[in-house]
């Protein structure tokens, strides 16, 4: 599982370098922009992009603090990550796009929809949330500090079982191995800052103002951002539709790429 699209680069408003990969034809009328989950990179979207290449232009970014993008000092904010995506759209000459994200990337997509409504043709939200709950600051701080004190390898066993079902891990060891490789290559201070960002995030007040067509997909067995969190999004976003994916956990774009690609393409055709 390696990306065939070469990376390109632009700069965010604060000068930070943002890396991105373009799939398909950049000038295609249907345009989709994608943001990966925590501690992944643009290659997270390769299976989905491969299913969309003939139908749409797709850009997948490395969020700041991840992959080949800059890793500035914190604090990080999801709104800044959304602005970074806007800078990538500017570099491509795209006025608007369907914006999709998984987990952390879904929260960034929500922030983009709230703060850049004119550029949001539609939203695809996969295994994500607007708020992790009252205990989130302490829980996410603990995760970030574990990485600092014990190394990212200390989190792998915890991550693997959250990412994928037992059957998927057995049947697709190559995908699991790639995710572990990307995860372990993360910059630890940037990982901690991103954990803090997710712990402090609360986008609930902006959900009712989202007018873009929105698809919400969640794995039936997702216990990182469970079905109840997806239902809260669906209840709050007016033009939304929710679907539960059977026999899937937290990284549905990798576990169920056909479903995710079909959802994004349907949004791109609206």
Q: Which H helix or E strand runs over 57? A: strand 57-62
17-36: pLDDT as tens digits: 999 999 998 788 999 999 99
From residue 114, give the alpha-carbon distance in Å to each of 31, 105, 108, 117, 209. Answer: 19, 14, 10, 6, 7
> Is residue 147 one of the residues assigned to a domain?
no
CATH number of residue 97's parent domain: 3.40.50.1820
> Is residue 170 one of the residues assigned to a domain?
no
> Is residue 171 one of the residues assigned to a domain?
no
> Is residue 189 one of the residues assigned to a domain?
no
Regions of the chain short of the pLDDT cut 50: 2-3
> Is residue 57 one of the residues assigned to a domain?
yes
User: pLDDT at position 26, please?
Assistant: 75
> Is residue 163 one of the residues assigned to a domain?
no
Closest CA to 97 of 116, 125, 115, 69: 116
133-178: pLDDT as tens digits: 999 999 999 999 999 999 999 999 999 999 999 999 999 999 999 9
Q: What domain range includes position 53?
A: 7-132+202-269
Burial class (CB in 10 A: 0-12, 13-18, 19+), 85: buried
User: pLDDT at position 4, please?
Assistant: 62
Total domain count, the chain: 1
Q: Beta-carbon neighbour count of residue 74 at 10 Å?
A: 14
> Is residue 197 one of the residues assigned to a domain?
no
């Amino acid at each position: 599982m390696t990306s065939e699209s070469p990376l390109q680069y632009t700069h965010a408003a604060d000068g930070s370098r943002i890396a991105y990969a373009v799939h398909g034809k950049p000038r295609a009328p249907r345009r989709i922009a994608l943001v990966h989950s925590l501690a992944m990179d643009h290659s997270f979207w390769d299976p989905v992009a491969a299913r969309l290449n003939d139908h749409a232009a797709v850009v997948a970014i490395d969020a700041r603090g991840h992959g080949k993008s800059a890793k500035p000092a914190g604090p990080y904010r999801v709104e800044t990550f959304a602005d970074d995506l806007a800078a990538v759209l500017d570099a491509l000459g795209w006025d608007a796009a369907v914006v999709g994200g998984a987990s952390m990337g879904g929260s960034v997509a929500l922030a983009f929809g709230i703060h850049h409504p004119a550029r949001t043709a539609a939203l695809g939200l996969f295994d994500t949330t607007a708020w992790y709950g009252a205990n989130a600051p302490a829980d996410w701080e603990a995760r970030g500090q574990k990485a600092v004190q014990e190394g990212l390898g200390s989190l792998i066993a915890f991550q693997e079982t959250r990412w994928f079902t037992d059957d998927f891990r057995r049947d697709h060891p190559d995908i699991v191995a790639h995710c572990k490789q990307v995860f372990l290559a993360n910059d630890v201070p940037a990982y901690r800052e991103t954990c803090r960002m997710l712990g402090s995030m609360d986008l609930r007040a902006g959900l009712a103002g989202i007018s873009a067509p929105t698809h919400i997909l969640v794995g039936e067995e997702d216990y990182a951002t469970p079905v109840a969190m997806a239902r809260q999004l669906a209840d709050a976003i007016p033009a939304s539709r929710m679907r539960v994916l059977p026999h899937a956990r937290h990284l549905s774009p990798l576990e169920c790429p056909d479903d995710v690609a079909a959802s994004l393409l349907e949004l791109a055709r609206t």
